[in-house]
Amino acid sequence: MRMIQKLKGLEKAVVFLRWATDGQFGRLKYVGEDFVEFEVLDTDSMEYTETVLINSQLILEVIVSGYEVARIIAEIAVNLSADEN
């Protein structure tokens, strides 16, 4: 199975993505055959700061679970519930 096919199942998920020139926490907004649209998350403010279009051949690593990803998701959830009140 190609990584792009696997990533399509993770659209809208919060992940850590490492590509040729950088690595960031964020959300996979769109996964296509030739590029991935990735919303970068500023871990200090817990807000999406920019959208990056990445050539799918430049993706080196995707972390979808683990302590750091779980911590980021928990902080986003806390911010969402605080915004509702």
Domain containing 60 — which CATH number?
A: 2.30.30.100
Residue 73, domain extent: 3-84
Residue-wise DSSP of the chain: --HHHHHHTTTT-EEEEEETTEEEEEEEEEE-SSEEEEEEEETTTTEEEEEEEEEGGGEEEEE-SSHHHHHHHHHHHHHHHHHH-
Domains contained in the chain, number: 1
pLDDT at 81: 65
Task: From first to last of the 85 residues of the chain, give the pLDDT tens digit.
Answer: 688 888 999 999 999 999 999 999 999 999 999 999 999 999 888 889 999 999 999 999 999 888 888 988 888 888 776 666 5
pTM exceeds 0.85, yes or no = no
